[in-house]
Amino acid sequence: MAKLHFFYSTMNAGKSTALLQTNHNFIENNLKTLVFIPKVSEKSLPKVSSRIGIKIDAIAADSQFNFFKYLKQQDFTNIKSIFIDEAQFLKRKQIDQLSKIADKLKIPVLCYGLRTNFLGELFEGSSRLLSIADNLHEIKTICSMCTKKATMVIRLDSNGDAQTDGEEITLGGNELYKSVCRKHYRKITKLF
């Protein structure tokens, strides 16, 4: 039986690296895969890239993209796995489409993404994945301020202070986001 998997963590845990490695293992064994990434802005490149420098081309999926319909229009019989990077940016209906692919087309779907945003709230895609995924896999990393497990993400402004409001999605990397434990998140943001 094919399953819907959700690999989640904070920033800098190696989610994209894990996706790239697993996809590589399939390809090395002559197994066909499809790799998708949500298109969250016009600047978004259709690539999955890791901070360690590895990258591959991916199929861009905007908020209206229908995964199930796309696969039904392809010759999907040889596809052995589907990979989704940045799955937190998907819509609820898109996660439901991915579950339908696993259930009806019998293709495993592996989603990788953040669990929560900088306000400590679930992303729409992550919320749905946590609700319906067959398997949940936490990828662990450490707090940037201590050695505890990081479970939260803070977003920094131009002065290096934590933001406690604003748009949910602002693209950036280490210069903008830091992974922290709940204790440091609470201390820095004072959101709860």
For 16-174, strand residue ranges (E) read: 32-38, 47-49, 55-57, 59-61, 79-84, 109-114, 135-138, 152-155
Annotation marks residue 86 as catalytic: yes
Checking if the pLDDT of 166 tops 80, the result is: yes
More confident residue, 55 or 175: 55
Rounded to two decimals, the pTM is: 0.95
Q: Write out the H or E segment, with its range, that includes residue 6.
A: strand 4-9
Question: pLDDT (tens digit, 9 = 90+) per residue, 28-80?
Answer: 999 999 999 999 877 667 999 888 889 999 999 999 999 999 999 998 999 99
CB 18 within 8 A of CB 140: no
Map residue 177 onto helix, strand or coil: strand
Q: Which residue out of 28, 42, 86, 167 is catalytically annotated?
A: 86
Q: pLDDT grade, residue 167 (50/70/90)?
A: confident
Q: Tens digits of per-residue pLDDT, 95-146?
A: 999 999 999 999 999 999 999 999 999 999 999 999 999 999 999 999 999 9
